[in-house]
Amino acid sequence: MINKFLLKEFGAKIRELRAERNLSQEQLSFITGFHRTYIGMIERGERNISLTNIAVFAKAFEMDISELVNFNNQKSKLSYQDYEFKADS
């Protein structure tokens, strides 16, 4: 399912940003207020997080939400046309 790839891309972006800042999951947990295991689940693409939680990550990384969900700089070959709607199933 292509939507799972979106979750994995977002998780990879969080992991990449965390690593660039030399933060452990525990340290990011302290900054965001999220549990360390929740952050790990996001990084592995296991959680579909809410827009409000995405905003918390954006603030933690001092960037706009749009920057956080922009995957153009990653190796992704996905576009909005690849995402599935429940009605498409």
Q: Distance between CA atoms of 1 and 43, rounded to whole angstroms? A: 18
User: What integer pLDDT is reported at residue 73 of this predicted model?
Assistant: 57
85 by DSSP, 3-state: which?
Answer: coil
Q: List the chain pLDDT tens, one digit each, 89 residues.
A: 557 888 988 999 999 999 999 999 999 999 999 999 999 999 999 999 999 999 999 999 999 999 999 877 555 555 555 656 655 55
Q: What tokens were used for 84?
A: 């599935």
Q: DSSP assignment of 15-79, as one string?
A: HHHHHHTT--HHHHHHHH---HHHHHHHHTT-----HHHHHHHHHHTTS-HHHHT--TTSS----
List the domain boundaries for the chain.
2-70
Architecture of the domain made up of 2-70: Orthogonal Bundle (1.10)
Q: Distance between CA atoms of 21 and 15, rounded to whole angstroms? A: 10
User: What integer pLDDT is reported at residue 4 of this predicted model?
Assistant: 83
